[in-house]
Amino acid sequence: MPCMNNGTCLNQIGKYECDCPLHYTGSRCETDLCNPNPCQHSGLCDYSNSTNDYSCTCIEIYGGKSCEKKVDNCLSDPCANGGVCIPGVAWKCQCKSGWKGTTCAEDIDECASNPCNNLGNCTDHFNSFTCACLPAFSGLLCEEHLTTCVIQTDEEKSQRIAMVTAQSLSSMSLIICLCIVLVIFILLLQFSTERILHMGEEISLLLAHLIILFARTPTIADAGAFCDARGSGNPVKLGEDQCRLVATILHYLFMVHFGFFFLEALNNYCVNTYVANGTSMYGRWKNLLLGLSVPSIPVAATAIFHFKTYIHDRTCWCNMDEPNFIGELIPALMLCVPAFVMNEAAGMGHYNEHPDSVEEKRHSAYSSSRSAMVVIPLSLAAWIVGMTAVHETDLSLYSLCSILNLILGIAIIIAHTLSNSRARNLLHKLFCWWSCEKKKVDSSRPAPNPSSIKNIDDCAATQKGLGSAKENEDIDIDKMIRDAIAPLSGSSNNAVRLNAKNTNRAKEDIDIDKMIRDSISRL
């Protein structure tokens, strides 16, 4: 066979031809198209699958069928908009900022990545963009909140409406209960040592929840209940320094609240166990000074050393994500736990009575210690659950906090009023006026029938020591008395009956007595 490499021999007149397969050529198909390599300047040879030919992949600056020509494609300046051409057969353009494409002719759309936050509207410019923000946001990317609003779904909005409602009702219910107690004792003008301690607890808690209601609630995440779909509707957000100031004041007021718990427990223990002569260890002014000054120590320490991390980014309240929160929680526990223990110790045993003690004060201290054992855990639990609810933005915790605050308010009313006799009397007048009025009407009815008054012979027998006389003898005495007073008028009988009831005696009453004694002396 004259044809090589599986070539097909074709017989012709006086000659032959070879039909070569792909990748081979020559009169006898003896030549491999890529062997030897026909590509010059280190070009790479490649077979063509459609034609019996080859192609060369040339290195930069060379071209042609077999890479035999030196070329410079950048001579035509193919790159637009200031792009730099990198020479070579596979030339490319290095584009300036803001342009893209093979020849740098396409403008880059900076808005394609949606850089604007909070529904901001992006406008593309050459090599830049601008964000048109909603009224509630600002910043280059609309990332800064001018209010406490966030963009939220309908479900999130409904949940936050429930949260802010629970927060508001929680504070309002407690404020109402505290105001009731304060008004009662202001009307009574009672400012004893025990009452001063209770007022310290009540006023500090009242002020704290007023701040929560009017200053802190509009700054917490659940205030998004007031925001519309475009993130507007809330008051302007407090600045960071203003927010830290709110948190500092709240921290101080709650520490004062817990501090007066401790002083009340100390007072109850002293009075109930007859320490310090059965009286308070400190007077009203000393208790007031201690209750307002000592809590400022942990608050000042936290505010000075951890002022930057005092608050959370979503709320004007203690930051539970930072280590300084431990320094805020431990002082509260150091005040409440010993207070609970002292109140328990004050009423758990019978102590020898001190000669200078006042029974009324001791009884009041005992009642106060018993009720404080309910109020202290409730108040501490409501404080911790409330902070956790704000931190976690959790509806179930908000609901639990509302329930705890309502129970706390009712417990304070019961504990601080029913243990005080004057407060009980005032409440009795306020809440049972109808029954009291009914009793007055009953007392204005006519006097009972004279026949229901005790017999005069009983009085006479008592005066003469004859109460143990026999029945038949009493009958004789009774007959003699009736005979003696028979001539008297009806008015005299009324006077006698008045004598039996120990009223003021008239002159004729004395004569009747004389007649009775004379009748009895005949026995």
Cα–Cα separations (whole angstroms), residue 171 to 3, 61, 194, 211, 383: 105, 81, 25, 10, 12
Q: Give the range of the structural domain holding residue 134, as residue numbers without chain letter.
A: 110-145
The answer on 224 and 130 residing in a single domain is: no
Whether residue 490 is predicted with pLDDT greater than 80 in this model: the reply is no
Residue 223's pLDDT band (cuts 50, 70, 90): low
The per-residue pLDDT for 494 is 43
Q: Is residue 486 over pLDDT 70? A: no
| 141 lies in the same domain as 165 | no
CATH number of the domain bearing residue 397: 1.20.1070.10
CB 328 within 8 A of CB 310: no
Residues ≥6 apart with Cβ < 8 Å to 399: 166
**How high is the pLDDT of residue 177?**
92
Orientation of helix 359-392 relative to helix 395-417, angle to 10°: 170
Q: Tell me the two tokens of residue 434.
A: 């109808």
170 with 311, same domain: the answer is: yes
Neighbour tally for 260: CB within 10 Å:
28
pLDDT value at 452 more than 90: no
Residue 332 confidence class, pLDDT cut points 50, 70, 90: very high
> 78-82, 269-273, 391-395 — which one is most confidently predicted on average?
78-82
Closest CA to 209 of 157, 156, 169: 169
Among candidate residues 116, 179, 115, 176, the one with its CA nearest the CA of residue 142: 116
Of the listed ranges 131-140, 189-198, 475-484, the one predicted with least confidence? 475-484
266 and 127 share a domain? no
Q: How far lies 206's CA from each of 135, 152, 200, 243, 434, in Å?
A: 35, 33, 10, 20, 32
168 in a structural domain: yes
- State the pLDDT at residue 314: 65
> How many angstroms separate the CA atoms of 302 and 252, rounded?
11
For 478, half-sphere exposure in the C-beta direction (CA atoms, 13 angstrom radius) is 13
**84, containing H or E segment:** strand 84-86
**Residue 236 pLDDT greater than 90, yes or no:** no
Higher pLDDT, 463 or 239: 239
pLDDT at position 378: 94
Domain finish residue from 122, 145, 168: 145
Q: Which band of pLDDT confidence, cut at 50, 70 and 90, is reported for residue 178? A: very high
* Model confidence pLDDT, tens digit, residues 265-303: 888 888 877 655 545 567 788 888 999 999 999 888 888
Asked if residue 469 belongs to a domain, the reply is: yes
Residue 10 has pLDDT above 90, yes or no: no
pLDDT (tens digit per residue) in 21-35: 888 888 888 888 888
Going by pLDDT thresholds of 50, 70 and 90, the confidence category of residue 471 is very low
pLDDT at 237: 65
Our measurement of the distance from residue 13's CA atom to the centroid of its chain's CA atoms, rounded to an integer in Å, reads 109
Of 381, 380, 386, 408, which Cα lies nearest the Cα of 399? 386
Average pLDDT over residues 512-517: 57
* Closest listed residue to residue 148, CA positions, set 210, 233, 250, 208: 233
Q: Residue 316 — very low, low, confident or very high, per pLDDT cuts 50/70/90?
A: confident
Do 122 and 164 fall into the same domain? no
Q: Is 344 exposed, middle or buried (0-12, 13-18, 19+ CB in 10 A)?
A: middle
Q: What integer pLDDT is reported at residue 15 of this predicted model?
A: 83
Q: Which of 250, 259, 256 is nearest to 338 (CA)?
A: 259
342 and 298 assigned to the same domain = yes
What's residue 374's pLDDT? 92
For residue 255, pLDDT beyond 60? yes
**pLDDT at residue 334 greater than cutoff 90:** yes
Q: Is residue 76 part of a domain?
A: no
pLDDT at 51: 76
Angle (CA) 60 64 65, round 5°: 125
Q: DSSP letter at 74?
A: G
Domain count, the chain: 4
Judge whether 378 lies within some domain: yes
Query: In whole angstroms, what is the distance from residue 496 CA to residue 131 CA?
Result: 106
Percentage of residues of the chain with pLDDT beyond 90: 18
- Weakest-pLDDT range from 274-278, 390-394, 436-440, 496-500: 496-500
Q: How confident is the model at residue 132 (pLDDT cuts 50, 70, 90)?
A: very high
- Please check whether residue 202 is in contact with residue 118, taking contact to mean a CB–CB distance below 8 angstroms: no
- Least confidently predicted of 54-58, 103-107, 165-169, 360-364: 360-364
Tell me the C-alpha distance between 237 and 220, whole Å: 10
217 and 354 share a domain? yes
pTM for this model (two decimals): 0.57
CB 516 within 8 A of CB 495: no
Whether the predicted pLDDT of 234 surpasses 70: no
Task: Verify that 397 and 515 share a domain, yes or no.
Answer: no
- The answer on 247 and 337 residing in a single domain is yes
pLDDT of residue 225: 64
Q: How far apart are CA 519 and CA 484, in angstroms?
A: 7
Residues 166 and 141 grouped into a single domain: no
Give domain status of residue 97, yes or no: no
Nearest CA-CA partner of 72 in 62, 80, 64, 81: 62
Q: With 90 as the cut, is the pLDDT of residue 175 above it?
A: yes
Establish if 85 belongs to a structural domain.
no
Mean pLDDT of 404-408: 93
The answer to which of 171-175, 307-311, 483-487 has the lowest mean pLDDT is 483-487
HSE-up of residue 190 (Cα within 13 Å, Cβ side): 19
- Note the pLDDT of residue 317: 73
Q: For residue 325, how many other CB atoms are within 10 A of its CB? A: 19
Distances, alpha carbon 85 to alpha carbons 71, 221, 269, 335, 348, in Å: 14, 54, 92, 77, 95
The CATH number of residue 118's host domain is 2.10.25.10
Q: Residue 438: inside a domain, yes or no? A: no
Q: What is the pLDDT of residue 375?
A: 93
Q: Considering the chain, what is the average pLDDT of its residues?
A: 76
At residue 395's C-alpha, the angle toward residues 391 and 401, to 5°, is 75
Same domain, 173 and 141: no
My answer on whether 221 and 352 are in the same domain is yes
In a domain, 397, yes or no: yes
